[in-house]
A and B are shown apart, each in its own frame.
Chain A
């Protein structure tokens, strides 16, 4: 194999490694953002259901949030 072939192989490996890692990070970040949004929605629903069972808690929660 010629020098140029090895050079292309080396630069290809360097760029491929770095770009794959960059995209992997991007993909994981997007998946986590989605999961955070979904978990926050679940938490809100749980809170509302909980407040439905015990309305005084919702009132207390709303007052606390307004004060905070």
Chain B
């Protein structure tokens, strides 16, 4: 039991110190550069005007959400293969962070839609499949909170995490498979934006990717601390039971 507790404590405090300190600095610098590029340097779009500038962070948030859900998928597969708790921790951390980013994409998209389409929401295929994605991963988190911690919950969540990922390619491809009003950024022949806008887009993608990884690391450390608390409580309970 001592070994298990020490291993938990060690993994909470000592993993990847370079990433723990370097990544937030990198993410903050990239976010600042992306913000300057998106709001100041990138040219104003001829048809939409300034409202088009939402696009840089909207696309980057959607990208970060897709990346987070891919991490959930990969970590779930790794958990089922190895049964190592760390993969379950990575999966839940990526799922929660992915939900935050997909919420950001939905809200910023909705504000853009109100300005451009005249409505906050429409049941367009891209919007519907993305909203479905949000619902699926919120269900994943709710389901986890309802099952008692342990290998049973981790296995169930891993299976859920693998099946849930099926909606990611559907949401991504929806603008090609169905008739949609949603603008297309990536077409078969490359990016459908002006070359002068690409630096702002790429910087935003890099900034949100770095920020996503930083949040996943933070959330993973939190999850391991929670496990340590559960283990300590169990141990104290066991000691008190033995005394009485």
Q: Are A32 and B222 in contact (CB under 8 A)?
A: yes
Interface residues of B in 113-168 (CB under 8 A from A): 114-115
User: Which of A7, A26, A32 is B50 in contact with, Cβ under 8 Å?
Assistant: A7
How many interface residues does chain A have, given as a range?
20 to 34
A7's contact among B53, B232, B239, B242, by CB below 8 Å, is which?
B53
Q: How far is the CA of A11 from the CA of B236 in the complex (A)?
A: 47
* Residue contact B112 to A10, C-beta cutoff 8 Å: yes
B residues less than 8 Å from A46 (CB atoms): 236, 239-240, 243
In chain B, what residue has the closest Cβ to A54? B243
- The dominant DSSP class at the B interface is helix
Instruction: Establish whether residues A32 and B108, one from each chain, have CB atoms under 8 Å apart when the complex forms.
Output: no
Tell me the interface secondary structure of chain A in the complex. helix
The answer to the question of B86 belonging to the interface, with a C-beta cut-off of 8 Å to chain A, is no
Chain A nearest Cβ from B17, distance in angstroms: 16
Contacting residue for B108 out of A13, A29, A35, CB 8 A: A13
Residues of B within 8 A of A33 (CB): 225
B222–A25 touching, CB < 8 Å? yes
Q: Of A6, A17, A28, which contacts B54 at CB under 8 A?
A: A6
Q: Tell me the bound Cα distance from A53 to B243 in angstroms.
A: 9
B232:A18 contact, CB within 8 angstroms: no
The segment from B69-77, B195-203, B211-219 found at the interface with A is B211-219
A9 CB, min distance to chain B CBs, angstroms = 5
- Which positions in A face B, CB cutoff 8 Å? 1, 3-4, 6-7, 9-11, 13-14, 17-18, 21-22, 25-26, 28-29, 32-33, 35-36, 39-40, 42-43, 46-47, 49-50, 53, 68
